[in-house]
Structure formats: structure tokens, C-alpha cells
Amino acid sequence: MPEETIFSKIIRREVPATILFQDDRVTAFRDINAKAPTHILIIPNKVIPSTNDVTPEDEGVLGHLFIVAAKLAKEQGIARDGYRLIVNCGRHGGQEVYHLHMHLMGGRPLGPMLMPAG
């Protein structure tokens, strides 16, 4: 069994978070360190540490992350102007929490996708 992170405690509501959506497969809550007016994390309830650990049986839940992202973007009023979905993986990807998560960010122009190559 992969190791749990703080995100499992958020799913079980053992630590506080602003949960915007939850069903039997995914949970969505506001990022504690928001980098945009809307910054939401959408995560599978099942612990998948990173995209390196994804298996074919995860296809359904990973597709569901996009469905929930689109629904939340509409609800948050950012769908028309657009937004960014990010999944970080590993050290070079800047992943801090090893429970796969999709960032939904919007509410202002987000600028170029990456810093210039250095």
C-alpha cells in the first residue's frame, strides 16, 4: 500500500480544508497556498503517489479528474476566460505532496507556461 499524505486526512475530513466537491472517487479542495484567484486541487480518493505510479486500472478515476475540473471551472466562473490544469511529477516537476493531484488555476491571465530554459 502506498504511503498516505496529508491529503488522505483531508479526504477523510480529519484535517480542515475548503472542500468544494467530493464523491466516491475524487475530492476537490482549495489549495492552502493559492497562486491564483482560483486555485483548487482535485485528487483521487485512492492514494496514487504520482503519475509514475499510474496503472491501467486508474484510467476511470483519472478521466473523472477532468470531468470534475470542468464542472468546478464552470461553477467558479473561470471557464469562459480559461484556466490551467497542472499535474506535477517528482523532483524536477516540483511535486511536493506525493498523492497525485491536479491543480485547477484561473481567475487572471496566468502568463507563460514555463520559466525560460536556463
Residues annotated as part of the active site:
101
* Burial category of 40 from C-beta neighbours within 10 Å (exposed 0-12, middle 13-18, buried 19 and up): buried
Residue 109 CB, nearest approach to ligand DGP (Å): 19
As measured in angstroms, the least distance from the Cβ of 29 to ligand DGP is: 5
Residue 80 or 114: the one with the smaller Cβ distance to ligand DGP is 114
In the complex, the residues that contact ligand DGP under the rule CB under 6 A are 6, 17, 29-33, 41, 88, 94-97
Torsion (CA) 88, 53, 46, 101 in degrees, nearest 10: 10
Q: How many CA atoms lie within 13 A of 3 on its CB side?
A: 4
Kindly state the smallest distance separating residue 45's Cβ from ligand DGP, in Å: 15
- Which H or E element spans position 83? strand 83-86
Of 20 and 80, the one with the shorter C-beta distance to ligand DGP is: 20
- Give the CA dihedral 115, 98, 18, 20, nearest 10 degrees: 90
Comparison of 56 and 94: residue with beta carbon closer to ligand DGP: 94
